[in-house]
Chains A and B, each alone.
Chain A
Amino acid sequence: MSTLPPRAYKLSWDAHSVTGIAIGLALFVIFATGALVLFRGEIRKWEEPKLRAQPGERISLDAMVHPILDSLSQEGASPSRLRIGLPEGRDDNLHVKATGEGMNATPNVWVNSTTGKWVRTPEEGAITQTLYYLHFFYQLGRWGVYLAGLLGVFGLLAVVTGTAMHLDRIVKDFFQFRPGKTLRVAWADAHKVLGTIGLPFQTMYVFTGAYLGLLGIAALPYVVFLFDGDSTDYLREAGYYAPAVQVDSVASASADRPSLQRFAARAEGAWPDFDPEKMVVHDMGHPNSRVEVIGYRHGAVFGGTGSVIFHGATGEELLRKPPAEANLFNESVQSTETLHFARFGGTALKILFFLLAVASCAVILTGNLTWLEVRDTEHRTVNQMLARLTAGGATGFLPAVALLFLADRGMSGGVPDPNWWGDLFFFGGWAVAIVYALCRRNVARTHRSLLVIGGGLAMLVPVANGATTGAWPWAAWAAGQWAVLGVDLGAIGCGLGALGTAALLTVDASPNNASPPSSASDSGSDPAVEPVLVSVAPE
């Protein structure tokens, strides 16, 4: 028995299960897309052949950025604000965002750091953006972001109530999985085992997710009370921007664009362990232009940002603030982001986080299935709909994602507005899966069908990539295109996993589960519902 008093235990159990049922599927989408966007850099290279690794040295920052500015500017105009995400390794891509009068509107530009070839999103990319936006429901605009933050808060409530109930037997729960017992026990055991394994991971992610999602609202009291309504000062304090400095105008600015490479190199040499992460150029080409280079201490998980500010016209260093002198707020906010975005630990950590995110999806689904299994004898329409929605929304997510990857390869021949088509295939495919699940009475068979379809489509992903770009897995291996190879192997792994799970599913119509017509009629449920027993075969 739990250390909680019986009444508190019952109330906690109800709060945990109601929260889980209310937000479960939405949280599943967040964790599932989060697992994928951990590798968004790799997926971007997979979907954009121009960004794939090529032999050769990395070209200079100016050689990467200036052609983009030439292309984007109208009549030689320079951007009033140029934001550059600096590549870390040789194979990393550079990110550029330029805004200002006289610039053609461009959301984001990605540049291959060895060839200088570049692509614009969303015009030329679909997968990464669709999955990334779905991770915080940005398809709904800023309200989607707030919704994702609120889901994080309620996820935290589910974690707290679940942990409070199981705290005294957490070690026992960790080792207890009984697939041979009743389905209800098996789902509950799986829920507790996976929940215990992933507890620190899930706690960290719902907490940091709540912070990132609600930042726009949570910051308001501070902006009002501490920064006189200026959100830029708040962001400076949080380390997103460099500190404010006075930039004196020079008599005349050079017509030539400044050497960004030189600024980056000088900033990199400012401290021995400094990793410049982004560069922001304000008022490029103007007499009062300034260049901010912001970065972190190399390899640090916990720590804030440091920055070096240069005069854009004269090159004079105006300010230098090391990461070691970052204030507590800067350190806390940036550490939160480092943890959430897995900006430490390299590929091994991303793979671990991917597996833990998949386990978190399983925790959510097994919680849902436990709830449904407990109510299996009630035959209420709402439970049947929830069971079908779980099948369509969660299991149907796999074929939808596979379809998104396949659609992207199918549109590599210059289809106008591929982003729109990608969204159509992804959301359309997902909607079809949900409608299919809602219409089909045998939920277990729905799960199996969707797993087979999703697994089969996922296995086709490397084939589609090889056929359209020539980067078959062995060719990607030979060319050192590890990102492309990783995505292909990941798709094969997911496909095999889905097909294997489908093969292990025992879909059986058990006469014991059939409800008598009178009982079904009395409870107002669908009298024609098929009795179903679904389990992972213990043998």
Chain B
Amino acid sequence: MKYDWSTAEAWGKAGAGLLLGTVLYIAFCSFCATSVPVAQDVALVLGLLGGFPVWVGGIYYAVLSQTVVRAWLVLGAAIGLLAGAVLYAQFIA
């Protein structure tokens, strides 16, 4: 290993990357399906094919983030925003 990982950092970032990265992907797909103001086929392409870079980006962000807390907070906030937009589109708008 080139970086000096502490145990908490390794588990915290791996957890954020794997767990929140995956939830971010699902939230992004749901967001594209419900809230993006484009035609249905464009929304499908955006979510289905664009979702993988978002997923990998989420994992990579968790690895690179300055602290474990920041990784969880930023990814969690992104998920919250996307999930909020989905809920708004489904139940309020």
Interface residues, chain A, with chain B CB atoms under 8 Å away: 7-15, 17, 153, 156-157, 160-161, 207, 210-211, 218-219, 221-222, 225-226, 237-238, 327-330, 332-333, 336
A218 and B26 CA atoms in complex are apart in Å by 8
Which residues in B have their C-beta under 8 angstroms from that of A329? Answer: 40-42, 44-45, 48
Q: Is the CB of B60 within 8 A of A157?
A: yes
Q: Which residues of A contact B33 (CB under 8 A)?
A: 221-222, 225-226
The answer to whether B30 and A210 touch across the interface, beta carbons within 8 angstroms, is no
Q: Taking the complex as formed, is B3 at the interface, i.e. its CB lies under 8 A from any CB of chain A?
A: yes
> Which of B33, B47, B56 has the most chain A CB within a 10 Å cutoff?
B56
CB-CB < 8 A to B52: which residues of A? 153, 156, 207, 210-211
| Interface positions of B (Cβ within 8 A of A) | 1-3, 5, 26, 29-30, 33-34, 39-45, 47-49, 51-53, 55-56, 59-60, 63-64, 90
Are B41 and A15 in contact, CB atoms less than 8 angstroms apart?
Answer: no
A14 B45 Cβ-Cβ under 8 A = no
Q: Determine the chain B residues whose CB is within 8 A of the CB of A332 once the complex forms.
A: 45, 48-49
Q: Give Cα distance in the complex from A226 to B86, angstroms.
A: 13
List B contacts of A17 (CB < 8 A).
1
A329 to chain B, nearest CB (A): 4
Main secondary structure of the interface of A (DSSP, over half): helix
Can you show 6 pairs from A to B with CB atoms below 8 A apart? A11-B64, A156-B53, A221-B29, A222-B47, A329-B40, A329-B41
Contacts of A12 in B (CB 8 A): 60, 63-64
Taking CB atoms, residues of chain B closer than 8 Å to A238 are 44
Chain A nearest Cβ from B9, distance in angstroms: 10
Q: Does A237 lie within 8 Å of B44, measured CB to CB?
A: yes
A8–B1 Cα distance when bound, in Å, is 13
Having A14-B5, A161-B63, one finds 4 other A-B pairs with CB under 8 Å, namely A153-B55, A211-B52, A328-B45, A332-B45
Please report the C-alpha to C-alpha distance between residue A225 and residue B28 in the assembled complex, in whole angstroms: 13
The verdict on A157 contacting B56 (CB below 8 Å), with A226-B40, A327-B41, A336-B49 known, is yes
The answer, among B3, B43, B55, B59, for a CB contact under 8 Å with A14, is: B3
**Would B56 and A15 count as touching, CB distance under 8 A?**
no
Q: Which chain B residues border A157 with CB–CB below 8 Å?
A: 56, 59-60
CB A513 to nearest CB in B, in angstroms, measures 22
Query: Which residues of chain A are near B44, meaning CB under 8 Å?
Result: 222, 226, 237-238, 328-329
Q: How far is the CB of A370 from chain B (nearest CB, A)?
A: 13
Given known A160-B56, A210-B52, A218-B51, contact A8–B41 (CB-CB < 8 A): no
For the complex, what is the distance from the CA of A12 to the CA of B26, rounded to whole Å?
A: 24
A8: contacting residue among B26, B34, B49, B64, CB under 8 A: B64
Give the CA-CA distance A332 to B46 in the complex, in Å: 10
B2 touches A10 (CB 8 A): yes
CB proximity of A162 to chain B, nearest CB, Å: 12
**Listed residue (B1, B45, B53, B63) with the most chain A CB atoms within 10 angstroms of its CB:** B63
Residues of chain A contacted by B60 (CB below 8 angstroms) = 12, 15, 157, 160-161
A-B pairs with lowest CB-CB distance, top 8: A329-B41, A327-B41, A10-B2, A10-B3, A225-B33, A329-B44, A221-B30, A221-B29
Determine the chain B residues whose CB is within 8 A of the CB of A9 once the complex forms: 2
Q: Which residues of A contact B64 (CB under 8 A)?
A: 8, 11-12
Chain B residues with CB below 8 A from A226, complex form: 33, 40, 43-44
Q: A327-B41, A329-B44, A330-B41 are in contact. Are A218 and B29 (CB under 8 A)?
A: yes
Q: In the complex, what residues of A have CB within 8 A of residue B5's CB?
A: 14
Is the beta-carbon distance between B26 and A221 smaller than 8 angstroms? yes
Question: Which chain B residues lie closer than 8 Å to A336 at the CB level?
Answer: 49
CB distance from B2 to the nearest CB of A (A): 4
A11–B67 Cα gap in the complex (Å)? 12
Most buried by B among A17, A210, A221, A222: A221
Q: Which of B1, B47, B56, B63 contacts A221 (CB 8 A)?
A: B47
- Bound complex: CA A161 to CA B39 (Å): 33
Which residues of B have CB within 8 Å of A160?
56, 60
Q: How many Å from the CB of A231 to the closest CB on chain B?
A: 13
B28 → A minimal CB distance (Å)? 9
Tell whether, in the assembled complex, residue B40 and residue A11 are in contact, meaning their CB atoms are under 8 Å apart: no
- Report how far A8 CA is from B52 CA in the complex, Å: 22
A221 and B43 CA atoms in complex are apart in Å by 12
CA distance A350 to B60 in the complex (A): 33
- The answer on a CB contact under 8 Å between A14 and B48 is no
CB distance from A205 to the nearest CB of B (A): 13
B3/A7 in contact, CB under 8 A: yes
Report A131 CB to chain B, min CB distance, Å: 26
CA distance A161 to B57 in the complex (A): 10
Identity of the chain A residue whose Cβ is nearest the Cβ of B33 in the assembled complex: A225
A291 to B79 alpha-carbon distance, docked (Å): 45
B residues less than 8 Å from A218 (CB atoms): 29, 48, 51
- A17 and B33 CA atoms in complex are apart in Å by 35
Nearest CB of chain A from residue B74's CB, rounded to whole Å: 16
Bound Cα distance A211, B42 (Å): 17
The CA of A333 and the CA of B3, in the complex, are separated in Å by 40
A319–chain B nearest beta-carbon distance, Å: 18
Q: Report A-chain residues with C-beta under 8 Å of the C-beta of B42.
A: 328-329
Complexed CA–CA distance, A160 and B34 (Å): 29
CB-CB nearest in chain B for A13:
B2
User: Which residues of the other chain, B, contact A237 by a CB distance below 8 angstroms?
Assistant: 40-41, 44
Q: Given known contacts A7-B3, A153-B56, A237-B41, is B63 in contact with A211 (CB within 8 Å)?
A: no
Min C-beta distance of B68 to chain A, whole Å: 13
Q: Closest approach, in angstroms, between the C-beta of A306 and any C-beta of chain B?
A: 15
Q: Are A156 and B56 in contact (CB under 8 A)?
A: yes
